[in-house]
Amino acid sequence: MSQPSIRIVEVGPRDGLQNEQTLVPTRTKIELIDRLAATGLRTVEATAFVHPKWVPQMADATEVMAGLDPRPGVSYPVLVPNLQGLERALAAGAREVAVFTAASEAFNLKNTNASIADSLERFRPVLARAVEAGVAVRGYVSTVLGCPYQGDVPVADVVGVATALHEMGCYEVSLGDTIGVGTPRKAAALLVAVASQVPMAALAVHFHDTWGQALANILACVEAGVRVVDSSVAGLGGCPYARGATGNVATEDVVYMLDGLGLETGVDLEALAQVGGWISAELDRTSQSRAGRALLARAGSAG
C-alpha cells in the first residue's frame, strides 16, 4: 500500500523575502523561483501585488512574473490584497492568486487596516473576478493559534473565517500560526475543528518556528489528515506585525522529515538544500553590499 503524497507550497520567494530589509534584485528573485521549481516543488509562491508603500520588497512583482520561465506542472501563485491587486496580477499573467485575512480582529486591523468582516467583503469581488478570468484562488488565515495583540484566538473564530473563505470560492485555505506559539496537540485539534466545516482536502497548514515546534506541529497535522504544508526555503521570512516571531519552517527540514516518514513529496532534498545555501549567500552578499555603500556614504559626508 503506497504512502500518501504531501504537497509542499513553497512560500520563500514571497513570504520569505518580503521582510528583508535590503531590496533583493529582481533577477535574484526570478532565479530563486526557477531554482525552486527545478527541485520538484509543484507550487512556488512567486510574489505579491501589494502597494509598494507597505511592502517595498514586492514592488517589482510585474517584472518578476515577466521574467519567469514556467515549468509544466508547477503553479506560481501570487498574493493579492484587493481587486486592484488582482487586476495587476492578471495583467502580469498570474494563473493563481491568494487572498489573506486573520482570525484575530486586532491583528487584521494592524495588518490590513480593516476588520475581518470588511476584509471578507473586500474579497467577494476578487473571487468573482478571478472566477470570470479562470484563475484559482487560495485563502490564508493568519493568527490561528495566537495573536501578538489579543493573545488567545477562539477556535470558533478560526473555523468561521476559514469556512467563509472556502464558501466564497477559495479552493484551499491555509491555516497560519503567525507567531509560532502552537503546540502539536493544539495544532491538530484546531485542524480537526476546521475540518468539521471545510473538507480536509481543502486545508493546508503554515507554521512559524518561534518555539521550535513547527516540525512537531506539521507531523501532528499530517497524522490528523492534512496533505498540504506551507514552508520556506532556508527558513526565510517572518511577520512584520508579530514582533519577535522567527521565520517560517525551513522547506529542507520539512522534506527531510517527510522523507523519513516514507511520505512522498516529489522534492529532491539535495537540490533543495543547494538552493537554500545559494539564496542565503545571495542575501548575505546583498546585505553586505548595502552596508558597504552606507559606510562609503558616511565617509564621503564626513570628508
Q: Which helix (H) or strand (E) segment is 8 a member of? A: strand 7-10
* Contacts for 72 with CB less than 8 Å, ≥ 6 apart: none
Q: What are phi and psi of 47, to 5 degrees?
A: -170, -170
- Rounded to whole angstroms, the Cα distance separating 135 from 19 reads 27
List the beta bridge partners of residue 173.
139, 203
The answer for 205, left when phi > 0, alpha when psi is -120 to 50, beta otherwise, is beta
Q: E strands along 95-248, which residues?
A: 96-102, 136-142, 172-177, 203-207, 228-231
Placement of cell 489573506 in the chain: 100
Residue 174 CA, chain-centre distance (Å), reads 9
3-state secondary structure 77-113: CEECCCHHHHHHHHHCCCCEEEEEEECCHHHHHHHHC
- Rounded to whole angstroms, the Cα distance separating 27 from 24 reads 8
**Is 239 an annotated catalytic residue?**
yes
Catalytic center residues: 239
